[in-house]
Amino acid sequence: MTPVVKLLAQRIALGLLLLFLVSILIFVGTLILPGDVAQSILGQSATPEALANLRQDLGLNEPALTRYFDWLFGVFQGDLGTALTSGQDIAESLGARFRNTLFLAFWAAIIAVPLAVFLGLLAVRYRDRWPDKLISAVTLASISLPEFLIGYLLMFFLGVKLRWFPSTAIGYRPDADVFTRLEAIALPVAVLTLVVLAHMMRMTRAAILNVMQSAYIETAELKGLSTFRVIWKHAFPNSIAPIVNVVMLNLAYLVVGVVVVEVVFVYPGMGQYLVDHVSKRDVPVVQACGLIFAAVYIGLNMLADVISILANPRLRHPK
């Protein structure tokens, strides 16, 4: 086995082990959630006998270890279980919700990633001058504000006052045409873009500035090449690895960290679905959503590691 294949296998095995450990944490976390799903379904006026019978029907009286392995084996077979409060198949319900979340994250990434790279290149080009300071100040301000605050500010000014966009995503329909759907998610996409922009822009700037200290960059400058050409043609290609890492981390956040944004704008995605069922103490739904979010986050991090290994000779040949 070649060193690079061995390194890739170790990264993948580590990711799978981490996902297994996260599944344990998710299951234990749902066990200690306050409240009782049987009480939530039957209401406060339910008799003890009715509660006991419903817990028996739902399998809540089984030992925790038995329930965990039943759930884990079901996940391996593609069965995420049944929602306790509605009786619906969780995998079927999550399918449409997950597609909606991916649609939102996709358009946020389409805007945020190129814009972050462009602003990072621009900041390097005008290093320590007013464009660099302005870009850094604006992006830092956007990341310093909570997501819900940015969402409510955009909702108030762009949705209510100026009426440029719908103030919420209640009217979003997956079967509508693309332009109608894009109009409905304009404000959520803007919030997500502002949230992840600063991380990617600052990493792009830092990675390129680090490469700019290299001897071959000085040689390129002595040849009379323009500053922007040196940055774009020589510095940027050699700083791809750290930029890819931070982009992947932020793409994972766009999928996993949409809960607050979806709740604020009433968007029918996985985040809204998770919050609704947490309030109902619907444990199988919470477990399924948590595991899917964890799998996406760990998977994109593994992909970032693989790309870094393939792009960086020092990682391929550590000795």
Q: What's the rounded mean pLDDT across residues 241-251? A: 78
Kindly indicate the confidence band of residue 161, based on its pLDDT and cuts at 50, 70 and 90. Answer: confident
- Per-residue confidence band for 157, with pLDDT thresholds at 50, 70 and 90: confident
Q: Which residues have CB under 8 Å from 152's CB, separation 6+?
A: 264
Q: Across-strand partners of 82? A: 89
**Domain annotation for the chain: domains and CATH numbers:** 97-280 (1.10.3720.10)
Cβ pair 102, 251 in contact under 8 A = no
Query: pTM (2 decimals)?
Result: 0.79
pLDDT classification of 218: cutoffs 50, 70, 90:
low
